[in-house]
Amino acid sequence: MRNAENEAQFSKLTVLQPIHLLIACLNEKTGVLGEISLKITLDKTSLKAVMEDTSNQHATNSVFFNVRVTKEVIKVLEVAINYMKRYNQVYVNEGHLLKALITTNVVDSFLSDENRKIILSLGTTSRDMITHIGNYTVPKINTHLIRKVNKNEISELVHFIENNFSKEWSQTIREAFSLSKPPIYIALDNNGDIVGFAAYDIYRNKKCYFGPMGVALSNRVNGIGYSLLHHCLKDMSDIGYEYAIIGDAGPIEFYEKACNAVVIPSI
């Protein structure tokens, strides 16, 4: 968003338009945005040249930016926030923003059908990621009220997952309890209730595979997911795994920052 603002400040009218948001995304060289910028057939220089002038009368202020923005930008942000809420997430990420840019049709005149498909496919869906744990060092994490699950907690954990996530995840966890030592960690609140969980080596019996993981919406941004992730990665490193696969990761930027995971490029 800061990069989009910088783009707008160099424009003729100093008004931030949706296309500035798209250009800022394409200028990002990491994660899925970097992959998109490599595969998309779009000349950013020509985008700036053909950008439609926006009258000052159609510009407004926004709490998110230090320059004025068009009403279309306000609409894009509103739609992106709605996507965030729909997915029960707490931060607007690049996937929400890209999907909002496409579905509001505000950048249609700049994109071909093929480019739209690339953006939606690479930037707005869950992706598999990989992180190196061969020389893993445990970061500073919260170990308070995070522990391995007990066999007698199957009903409580399955109930928590069904209420907060999906039946598919709950079935995966249920099947993992057939193992002598289920590789599942749980996070508890001060009342002893489950507020999060994470597992590894249980999804379709795949080794070196982290997940699923989930934290109750009301308990996010407290570092619980970060701690659960690293409890699992430590175990996986102790087993001797060189890499951990994070399947259908979302939000992607969490794993990029939490454990230096990178998106596995699409073929």
Q: CA 77 to CA 233: how far, in whole Å?
A: 35
Task: For each of the domains in the chain, give its residue range(s) and CATH number, in order of start.
Answer: 2-125 (1.10.1780.10), 130-263 (3.40.630.30)
Continuous segment of H or E residues that includes residue 203: none
pLDDT tens, residue order, the chain (267 aa): 999 999 888 877 789 999 999 999 989 888 889 899 888 877 766 666 656 554 555 788 999 999 999 999 999 999 999 999 998 888 899 999 999 999 999 999 889 999 999 999 999 888 899 999 998 999 988 778 899 999 999 999 999 999 999 999 999 999 999 999 999 999 999 999 999 999 999 988 889 999 999 999 888 878 999 999 999 999 999 999 999 999 988 788 899 999 999 999 876
Distances 219 to 30, 225, 239, 247 between C-alpha atoms, Å: 28, 9, 30, 23
Q: Edge to edge, what strands does the sheet with 209-215 contain?
A: 146-148, 184-188, 194-200, 209-215, 243-249, 127-132, 262-263
CB crowding 65-86: b at 16 or more within 10 Å, else e: bebbbbebbeebbebbeebbee
**Predicted model pTM:** 0.81
Burial (CB count within 10 angstroms: exposed 0-12, middle 13-18, buried 19+), residue 137: exposed
